[in-house]
Amino acid sequence: MRVIGLWLALLGVAGCSTTTTIDEYRSSDEQLQVASGDRVVLLGRRDAGHYETDAEFVECVGDKLRSSTLAVMPEQTFMDALYPWLEPRTAPKGLLRMRRLMQEPQVAKVIADQAIRYFVWLDGSTETLDKGGSISCAAGPGGAGCFGFAKWDKASIYEAIVWDLSDFTEVARVRVDSEGTSYLIGAVAPIPLLTPVKSDACKSLGKQLKALFVSDG
């Protein structure tokens, strides 16, 4: 029993950790100024065919970025305020299109009223890369149980692109690449040892984005 416990503890320590790599590009060495009252909005890219940048991840990064001095507008509220111009079909993919969209007086007014200075586009997903092992569960009138061992590798790859709406320029790009392996051990009861790959990607990206901005407020 002690051996199994030790084995589980080892797996817990060694197995449930993620490897996270962050690449950052900035157009300038200086931090991005956010004037008092100005806000940042995070938006998910949803035009790719085979994956979807989920709203939950966008919200998570927004929560990490938000602070007492940096105001972050919730994605859905902003999408509703600019409806239908930020839907998957209509969202501007480049700065040229964004500039043209801002020429619409109603769009420009909403962005000015909401005091949005920066758009942060988030694009990416969390995928299961590899699965191994097998676990089988059985249930009968006398009891139930699971036996075996399964593992799977997950990768979260996300990129954040920051647009400055004051001069329609791309000012920064941050890419986070997080990988980890989760385990499920069937020892009568299934024991999951889950690696929080997506959560780590969110934390790392949020922290890195936070370091980009400096608020006057």
Partner 1 sequence: MSKQMSPSRPLCWVFCALLLGGCGGMTRVQLESSFPTLLIEPRELRAAVIMSPEFSQYVATPNKNMTLEIGASQRSILEKTFGGLIDEVVFVDAAELIEQPQDIIIRPSVVEVQVAVPSENYLNVYEVWIKYNLAISDGDDNPIENWFMPVYGKTASAFMLQKDAAVGSATTIALRDIGAKLSLDFYRIPALQSYIDERRREAAR
Applying CB under 8 A, the residues found at the interface with partner 1 are 46, 50-54, 56, 80-85, 87-90, 104, 106-107, 110, 125, 127, 137, 139-145, 188-189
Shortest distance in whole angstroms from residue 139 CB to partner 1 = 4
Compute the distance between CA of residue 179 and CA of residue 118 in angstroms, rounded to an integer: 29
Compute the distance between CA of residue 28 and CA of residue 21 in angstroms, rounded to an integer: 21
| Closer Cβ to partner 1, 53 or 181, answer by number | 53
| Closer Cβ to partner 1, 88 or 217, answer by number | 88
Shortest distance in whole angstroms from residue 134 CB to partner 1 = 17
| Closer Cβ to partner 1, 80 or 216, answer by number | 80
| Closer Cβ to partner 1, 32 or 91, answer by number | 91
**Which helix (H) or strand (E) segment is 211 a member of?**
helix 197-212
- Neighbouring residues of 184: CB distance < 8 A, sequence distance ≥ 6: 135, 149, 150, 151, 190, 191, 192, 193
Shortest distance in whole angstroms from residue 158 CB to partner 1 = 13
Pairing between strand 169-193 and 213-215? unpaired
**In the block, residue with structure tokens 């901005």:** 213
Helix (H, G, I), strand (E, B) or coil at 139: strand
Shortest distance in whole angstroms from residue 203 CB to partner 1 = 18
